[in-house]
């Protein structure tokens, strides 16, 4: 696979992307992200969270001190936002265009968001926009 064609060039694993997304969600829900919030969102054990945070901190995606809050760095915010954008678009495509149930679309989008290439994501974004515009035009 051509590495330049991937959205994520930082070698984040699927799991690390999920942690970034969970940190972002926890921060929005609670005002701050704590290890227990991330643990509960991801349904994992505390040592798994602390291990992932150590790696993400070394990579420059998060700031975290033992027993302290977890904060996304600007680099972490950007990566988390990209994952969320992919998730939202894929979910919209699956539900609105293919007619997949919301629950199945959410599960599938969560898997697909990690492996979609930038080229495919860009084409899919344009396709979904065109489809929405066509639906709006028909409704008038």
Residue extents of the structural domains in the chain: 10-77, 81-139
Report the CATH number of the 81-139 domain. Answer: 1.10.60.10
Taking only the tens place, the pLDDT of each residue in 52-86 is 999 999 999 999 988 889 999 999 999 999 999 99
Report the CATH number of the 10-77 domain. Answer: 1.10.10.10
Distance CA 84, CA 90 (A): 10
Query: Which two structure tokens, joined as six digits, stand for 49?
Result: 């969270």
pTM: 0.82
Taking only the tens place, the pLDDT of each residue in 9-66 is 458 999 999 999 999 999 999 999 999 999 999 999 999 999 999 999 999 999 998 8
CA-to-CA separations, 122 to 39, 70, 85, 116, 125, in angstroms, rounded: 32, 31, 11, 10, 5
10-77 and 81-139: identical CATH topology = no
């Amino acid at each position: 696979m051509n590495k330049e064609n991937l959205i994520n060039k930082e070698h984040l694993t699927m799991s690390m992307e999920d942690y970034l997304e969970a940190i972002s969600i926890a921060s929005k829900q609670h005002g701050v992200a704590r290890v227990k919030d991330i643990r509960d969102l991801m349904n994992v054990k505390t040592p798994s969270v602390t291990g992932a945070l150590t790696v993400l901190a070394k990579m420059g995606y998060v700031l975290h001190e033992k027993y302290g809050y977890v904060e996304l760095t600007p680099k972490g915010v950007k990566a988390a936002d990209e994952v969320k954008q992919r998730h939202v678009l894929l979910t919209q495509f699956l539900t609105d265009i293919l007619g997949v149930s919301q629950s199945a679309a959410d599960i599938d989008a969560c898997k697909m968001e990690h492996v979609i290439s930038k080229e495919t994501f860009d084409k899919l974004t344009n396709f979904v926009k065109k489809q929405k515009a066509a639906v709006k035009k028909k409704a008038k």
